[in-house]
Chains A and B, each alone.
Chain A
Amino acid sequence: MEIYNNHKILYIAALSLFVGLTLFAAVIPAYEVDQTTVPLPKSQPLSNDATLGKAVFIREGCVACHSQQVRNVDMDKMWGNRPSIAADYARLTRTDVWRNTASLMGSERTGPDLTNIGSRQPSIDWNFLHLYNPRSVVSASVMPAYPWLFEEKEYPYPEDIVVNVPDEFKKGVTGKIVATADARHLVAFLQSLKQVDLPDGKPVPIFLNTNAASAKAEPAGTTSKLNTELDGKALYAQNCQACHQENGQGLVGAFPPLKDSKVVADQNPEVHFTIIMNGYNGRVSEGYGVMPPVGTNNNLKPEEIAAIMNYERTSWGNKGRKVTVTEIKEMFNKTKTAKTSK
Chain B
Amino acid sequence: MKKFYTLTILCLGTLPVFAQDKETGGSVLTNPGVMITIILILLPLLFVVYLVTVKISRLTKTIRQSKIKVDAKQLASDLHEVSSEELLLEVAKRKQALNFSLSDHELTGNLKPEDTKGMINNPVSVDSPRFFASKKKYVKRPEIDPALTKLILWYLGTATFYLVLGTTVGEYLGIKFSAPDIDHVPWLSFGRLRPVHTNMVFWGWSSLAMIGLGYYVVPIVSNTPLASIKRGWYGLVLINAAVILGTYSLMAGVNNGGGEYREYIWPIMLLFALGLGVTLLNYLQTIAKRKTKEIYLSNWYIVSAVMFTIVIALVGYLPFWQNGLGETIAQGYYMHQAVGMWFMLFNLGLIYYFLPQQLNTPIYSYSLGILAFWSQILFYTLIGSHHFIFSAIPWWLQTVAIIGSMGMLIPVAAGTTNFLMTFRSSWHKIGSSYTLPFYLVGIIFYFTGSYQGTAEAFRTSNLYWHFTDFTVAHSHITMYGIIAFMLWAGIYTLVPRLTNKEPRQGLVGAHFWLAFLGILFYAVPLMIGATLKGQLWIDGKPFIDGVVLMAPYWLWRAIGGSLMWFSHLIFAYNLYTMVHKKQEADLKTAVFEELKKIPDTSNI
Contact = CB atoms under 8 A, between A and B. Distances in A.
Interface of A: 4-5, 7, 10-11, 14-15, 17-19, 21-22, 24-27, 29-31, 33-34, 37, 58-65, 67, 69, 71-78, 83-86, 88-95, 98-110, 112, 133-135, 138, 140-148, 208, 210-211, 213-214, 217, 221, 234, 237-238, 241
B179 to A, nearest CB: 9
Interface in B302-361: 303-304, 307-308, 311, 315, 317, 319-333, 337, 341
B253 interface: yes
Contacts of A213: 24, 26-27
A17 B547 contact: no
A180 B421 CA distance: 64
Interface stretch (B112-120, B292-300, B596-604): B292-300
B191 interface: yes
A112 B467 CA distance: 10
Contact of B322 (A21, A30, A107): A30
Given A25-B384, A101-B257, A91 B324 contact: yes
A233 B254 CA distance: 42
A31 B321 CA distance: 4
Contacts of B195: 61, 64
B476 interface: no
A115 to B, nearest CB: 11
Given A22-B333, A30-B326, A94-B323, A144 B384 contact: no
B328 A89 contact: yes
A142 B173 CA distance: 12
A26 B330 contact: yes
Contacts of A144: 176, 180, 189-191
Contacts, number: 278
Nearest to B464: A75
A25 B300 CA distance: 23
Interface in B357-399: 373-374, 377-378, 381-382, 384-385, 387-394, 397
B341 to A, nearest CB: 8
A33 B295 contact: no
Contact of B321 (A15, A30, A221): A30
B538 A61 contact: no
B311 to A, nearest CB: 6
A342 to B, nearest CB: 33
Contacts of B308: 15, 18
Interface string B389-429: 11111100100110010000000000000000000000000
A90 B469 CA distance: 29
Given A11-B307, A98-B254, A108-B468, 13 more contacts: A17-B374, A18-B311, A30-B325, A65-B190, A89-B324, A103-B324, A103-B325, A141-B544, A142-B177, A148-B184, A210-B538, A237-B542, A237-B545
Given A37-B324, A214-B27, A142 B180 contact: yes
A101 B327 contact: yes
B259 interface: yes
Nearest to A83: B392
Contact of B192 (A27, A29, A34, A61): A61
B593 interface: no
**Residue in A26, A59, A64, A221 whose Cβ sees the most chain B Cβ within 10 Å:** A26
B81 interface: no
Given A11-B307, A75-B537, A143-B180, A103 B253 contact: no
A125 to B, nearest CB: 20
Contacts of B295: 4-5, 7, 10
Given A29-B397, A60-B189, A67-B467, A15 B307 contact: yes
**Residue in A4, A67, A107, A145 whose Cβ sees the most chain B Cβ within 10 Å:** A107
A105 B191 contact: no
B297 to A, nearest CB: 10
Contacts of A14: 300, 304, 307, 373, 377
B540 A75 contact: yes
B209 to A, nearest CB: 23
A143 B561 CA distance: 20
A267 to B, nearest CB: 30
A94 B321 CA distance: 10
Nearest to A12: B307
B542 A234 contact: yes
Q: 8 tightest CB-CB pairs across the interface, nearest first?
A: A61-B191, A34-B326, A102-B257, A26-B333, A71-B390, A109-B467, A237-B542, A59-B253
A104 B392 contact: no
Contacts of B337: 22
A25 B333 contact: yes
A221 B22 CA distance: 13
A40 B539 CA distance: 32
A181 B261 CA distance: 30
Contacts of B373: 14
B303 A11 contact: yes
Contact of A238 (B320, B325, B382, B542): B542
B154 to A, nearest CB: 27
A24 B548 CA distance: 43
